[in-house]
Amino acid sequence: MTVLNSREELEKYIAEQKKLQKTIGFAPTMGALHAGHISLYEAARKENDLVISSIFVNPTQFNNPDDLEKYPRNVKKDIQKLEDSGFVDAVYIPSVEDMYPGETKSKHYDFGGIENEMEGKARPGHFDGVGTVVEELFRQVQPDNAYFGDKDYQQLAVIRKLQQNLDLPLKIHGVPIYREPNGLAMSSRNERLSPEQRKKAAVIYDTLLKVNDWFRVISIPEIYRRVEEIFEKEDGFVLEYFTIADEETLKETDFFYKDRNYRAFIVVFAGEVRLIDNMHLA
């Protein structure tokens, strides 16, 4: 596996691969890699001649400087995980200057309002930061296909809108959520859970499964009431929000229309650890 430590090294590498007419699959990360990330590269491996990863902790998508400072970083360990997977041909590890040649500042995008729903309500400007770094990575790596996990579904929707708005010459792929044996969505944050919390966190996935059973059978207000009731009884877990939204607009719905697709979104605190999950309702 080739490690590319600068934009210049990446440009040279990409030029060589383009001469050979190799198709490129790409999945950007902020490091702290786990099996969920590796599943992106497994998907990319099946559909591309070349698979590229990137590791870059993007400063413009953090609203709180403390969160940026505390974000886990272990590039050496991440590189080893990528190499051990056997799915990745090259990893790009840019500096802040490689990504933001001038001022470290995000662009402003119009994502049609989806950036203002759910996560966007509490994190103004967050998706501008995501869009800025993803656009820059796309322009530098020049992938044919890019892969993102369904766990961050709102982010995936924003990136799809980015590709459409800028007419970027690549295809965006969503990859199913990779789960631990008890159903907990795989996340680097899971490492901060105690063994007991990790075991009990299965309640999040179990709740989504129940919501899927209730879908179109009982009213939306009743579904919300039942979800709130579950977490009121769950000691050590606090429900931040639960919502059922239209998959296209991400707007919360109060009625199920037959011709629309819906997804349930949930955010729960296990102690100080914020866990997110979602599920397509069918």
Of the candidates 203, 163, 166, which has an alpha carbon nearest to the alpha carbon of residue 183? Answer: 203
Check: CB of residue 257 under 8 Å from CB of residue 244. no
Question: How high is the pLDDT of residue 65?
Answer: 83
At CA 216, angle to CA 116 and CA 111, rounded to 5? Answer: 20
| Residue written as token pair 């680097």 | 188
pLDDT of residue 63: 81
| CA nearest to 29, candidates 224, 175, 170 | 175
Count of residues making up the chain: 282
pLDDT of residue 72: 82
Say which of 34, 37, 126, 280 is annotated catalytic: 37
Q: Is 126 a catalytic residue?
A: no
pLDDT by position in tens, the chain (length 282):
999 999 999 999 999 999 999 999 999 999 999 999 999 999 999 999 999 999 999 999 988 888 888 788 899 999 999 999 999 999 999 999 999 998 999 999 999 999 999 999 988 899 999 999 999 999 999 999 999 999 999 999 999 999 999 999 999 999 999 999 999 999 999 999 999 999 999 999 999 999 999 999 999 999 999 999 999 999 999 999 999 999 999 999 999 999 999 999 999 999 999 999 999 999
CA dihedral 42, 76, 57, 4 (to 10 degrees): -70
- Comparing 2-175 with 188-281, is the CATH topology the same? no
CATH number of 188-281: 3.30.1300.10
Domain 2-175 sits in CATH 3.40.50.300: no
Which pLDDT value is given to residue 66? 82
The domain limits of the chain are 2-175, 188-281
